[in-house]
Amino acid sequence: MLRLIALGTALAAAAPAHAQAVNDYPTNARAEYVFACMATNGQTRDMLDRCSCAIDQIAEVLPYEDYVQAETVLRMQQTTGERSGMFKSMAQMTEIVAGLKRAEAEAEILCF
């Protein structure tokens, strides 16, 4: 019985840490993702649910800091000029974006 109580206490202590890890994305970042996803896939209730699911899945596998870095690189890759070149050609930038693409691919499988 004592081991059962200890196990329950350990699980209860671990739950907030997991919840915090999943919810480390600010609400406005999640909303921005959902709005962009719906603009691309359709403005329906079904897409609202699927796009919300997608950002939740991305948040589970990709820390928010990595998400911000990848989004920044993607935006810089869309610009023109001399400064955008490093964001298009550096291996480090490609790897940052690849992490987001992997998370999005997993989210697509699970949510769409």
Name the more confident of 88 and 75.
75
Residue 88 has a pLDDT of: 83
Q: Is residue 100 predicted with pLDDT exceeding 70?
A: yes
pLDDT confidence of 8, banded at 50, 70, 90?
Answer: very low
For residue 58 the two structure tokens come to 């991305």
Name the more confident of 1 and 72.
72
To the question of pTM greater than 0.85 for the whole model, the response is: no
3-state secondary structure the chain: CHHHHHHHHHHHHHHHHHHHHHCCCCHHHHHHHHHHHHHHHCCCHHHHHHHHHHHHHHHHHCCHHHHHHHHHHHHHHCCCCCCHHHHHHCHHHHHHHHHHHHHHHHHHHHHC
pLDDT in tens, 27-45: 999 999 999 999 999 999 9
Q: Is residue 4 predicted with pLDDT exceeding 80?
A: no
Name the more confident of 13 and 55.
55
State whether the Cα torsion 68-69-73-79 is positive or negative: positive
Quote the Cα angle for 53-51-60, to 5°: 40
Quote the Cα angle for 65-87-109, to 5°: 55
* Residues 6+ positions from 44 with CB-CB distance below 8 Å: 38
pLDDT in tens, 43-81: 999 999 999 999 999 999 999 999 999 999 999 999 988
